[in-house]
Amino acid sequence: MWRSQPYRTPLLLGLTALSLFLSACGGSSSTPSATASPAPQLTVPNLPAGQYRVSVGEDEQLQMGLYFSLSDGSRALLLQDAAANTTALYQQQAGQWQRIPAASGTAALQFSLEQGASLPASDLAAGRYIAQYKGQNLAWQLNAQGEISAASGSSCALSGKVAAPAANGLRALQLKLAQCAGLPAELTGWVVSDPEDQPAQQRWVLHDGRTLYEWLAISDDR
């Protein structure tokens, strides 16, 4: 005789109760919620106010850099490779160091060498400037007040402002971009004037908080 039917209802009730219990408890196979990773701890030497050429690391790992310590307590360090391309920007504001691109884990820099550097004030002569970035031709007009506007012959339109010098060889920069392939709509950073960059008059070290961009700007008055 068929006897399984009378037991179906108690069995379903038991399974339903077990399902509700596991759901309320998160289930026996639930994965613990992820814990946010702590922010990287960066330690960079705090040099007195001035400009310095520094080196980090030793032998094959040696990197040169430009270090700016400003009178308001903020600082900026540009680390460069053997071809003088900026590979990392460290900047300190309100006592906190930030690295762009971001560092993973703890990073403690020590300088193998530091020496004073007397860089000229960034050349802000009004006129037309050009640069190249990954095959794109960039051109802009700069007036005597440090205002940037679009210029013909550019792959994209630039606008923004270069601030008054925070230190010889260093100025803050705010930039907006339109129709620029592979570039974000807004960038911030620094304009650096270094005689070693000739024939470029300015080195623009820019970022969007995550990615580092660098242009060498050359005067193109015609």
Residue 202 scores a pLDDT above 50:
yes
DSSP lists the bridge partners of residue 99 as 90
Residue 205 scores a pLDDT above 90: yes
What's the pLDDT at 17? 42
Of 142, 4, 119, nearest to 51 by C-alpha is 119
pLDDT tens for residues 145-179?
999 999 988 889 999 999 888 887 889 999 999 99
- How confident is the model over 95-139, as pLDDT tens digits? 889 999 998 777 789 999 899 888 876 657 889 999 998 888 899
Report the alpha-carbon distance of residue 50 to residue 138 in Å, rounded: 32
pLDDT recorded at residue 72:
84
Q: Could you tell me the pTM of the whole model?
A: 0.77
